[in-house]
Structure 1
């Protein structure tokens, strides 16, 4: 009779990393914080659902606009949006980590994007006056902010009366924010849901400060 002990031991050894990873994710979810700069390579991996082109389609950036990106990290989306608002538009990219800000500044310089202004700042207290931006967006960021309600208040404050806000979320991000809860929170602030694109586990949603005539939901 073959002993099952070695098999059980092997299964236990294989399960340990999975359990450790799950425990880390649960702790991270219950203690919101941005992705550490030391793990920056992970945030530059391909994002098959929340793609750059899909963000551009939902955000609809136009030449000459003044836009805000909250939590750009290393700039996965920044260059794409910056090019869409050239030549006279400006993209302000606010990140709470100074290392990310410097990394982004270097990357934009290397890519030849001169209309991006990296800024160190906190989403809960944005360093801008009221009614500053034509549009704002944040991707895989809202759930990392300890006080999401205050951050949403700030985003609503800095948007122009006809501005628009785009939020992107996707699993397996441990800080994933579901669409229905997101919609409820944002509509409480007077912004109207206008469009959503993606899948049920990864999406971009746009909200308008001025009510939209028709809402579009293209979730697959």
Structure 2
């Protein structure tokens, strides 16, 4: 039988562990940065709300399109999108960490996705001219960028006049970006909210550059 002293010691240890985790999360949120490559296994877990199929439904990738993924990490969504734009479409996957870029390059080669171009770059200064992409997307990435406003400006800049922007967010990501504030900030840049799928704590949302007068869809 476990003694009361042992139970109290275990409870105290668990409490300290939780507090340490909360402290780490708060420090990470106040100091935005991408998930380190050494912790890459944590971003490969299944994502029950922001699934690959939901991203495909919201992004609506089409064959022959030129798309941009910002912050692919290890390529959780990359292969699915790349296959959706075959045979002549191209997906540019831009990550600030060279280790992630090489990881995606290797993974796409192994999965047989030659239409992916992994590139090292900063979301605050994308290495592309204006009006380059039919669509861009980033999932669990915006909150990790030290200057989110600059990144949103860059995304608007590289989209074609009729382009689409899809952003995915989900708790318990410490850098979670709430929908209402995000919508306001993106619409200030001239893009129009078009759709959302998911819930308040996990969602994909799409903004269209070429829409001015139409009702938006929202699926909870």
* Structure-1 residue corresponding to 2:28: 28
Secondary structure at the residue paired with 1:124?
A: coil
Count of matched residue pairs: 217
Rounded to whole Å, the distance in 1 between the matches of 2:114 and 2:7 is 59
Shift in Å, 1:13: 1.3
Secondary structure at the residue paired with 2:190?
A: coil
Rounded to whole Å, the distance in 2 between the matches of 1:160 and 1:54 is 23
1:189-208, aligned counterparts within 5 Å? 189-208=189-208
* Structure-1 residue corresponding to 2:10: 10
Which is further off, 31-40 or 14-23? 14-23
* Structure-1 residue corresponding to 2:136: 136
Deviations 1:60-89 (A, max 9, x none): 000000000000000000000000000000
Shift in Å, 1:5: 4.9
Cα RMSD for the two superposed structures: 1.1
* Structure-2 residue corresponding to 1:126: 126
Confirm or deny that 1:211 pairs with 2:208.
Answer: no
Give the alignment's TM-score, normalised by structure 1. 0.96
Rounded to whole Å, the distance in 2 between the matches of 1:109 and 1:10 is 47
Shift in Å, 1:10: 2.7
Deviations 1:141-199 (A, max 9, x none): 00000000000000000000000000000000000000001000000000000000012
Deviations 1:94-143 (A, max 9, x none): 00000000000000000000000000000000000000000000000000
* Structure-2 residue corresponding to 1:185: 185
* Structure-1 residue corresponding to 2:91: 91
Rounded to whole Å, the distance in 2 between the matches of 1:14 and 1:197 is 36
1:55-204, aligned counterparts within 5 Å? 55-204=55-204
Shift in Å, 1:6: 4.5
Give the alignment's TM-score, normalised by structure 2. 0.96
